[in-house]
Amino acid sequence: MECAVAIQVLPMDAASDDEVVRIVDEVIDYLKSQPVSLFVGPFESAIEGDYDLCMSILAECQRIAIAAGAGKVMTYAKIDVRAQEPLLTTERKVGKYAQVNAAFDASHSEEN
C-alpha cells in the first residue's frame, strides 16, 4: 500500500531560529537518505512510498530531532493512503509550479 506523508517537525525548546534550522536540517538529511520520494518545503516535507516504510520514517524523525539536541519535539503529520486508486503525487500537485519556485530560489539565492 502506497502513501504520501507531510511531516512538520518542530523543536519546541530551541534557543534560537538557527537552532531550529540546525535540528530540522538533521531531520531532512535523514529523509534524504531514505528510499522514498522527498519534497522539502518551507513549513513541511513530504515523502511518498510504501506505507509501512513511511510510518517507520515518521517515527524516526522524532528520534533524529531528539538526538540532535531537541528536548521537546512536536511533530505534525498528514497522511494520504489510497486503497486502490493511484496516489496523488507531489509532482502532480506542485510540479506545474516548478518555474515559480525556481524564480523564487533565484531571487533569494543571495540570502544564503
User: Tell me, what's the pLDDT at 110?
Assistant: 64
Helical (H) or strand (E) element with 42: none
Number of domains the chain contains? 1
Print pLDDT tens along the chain (112 aa). Answer: 999 999 999 999 999 999 999 999 999 999 999 999 999 999 999 999 999 999 999 999 999 999 999 999 999 999 999 888 888 888 889 888 888 888 888 888 766 5
Contacts with 76 (C-beta within 8 Å, 6 or more apart), sequence order:
7, 8, 10, 44
pTM of the prediction? 0.87
What's 81's domain CATH number?
3.30.70.930
Helical (H) or strand (E) element with 13: none
> How far is residue 37's CA from residue 7's CA, in Å, rounded to a whole number?
13
User: Tell me, what's the pLDDT at 105?
Assistant: 84
- Residue 55: which domain range? 2-111
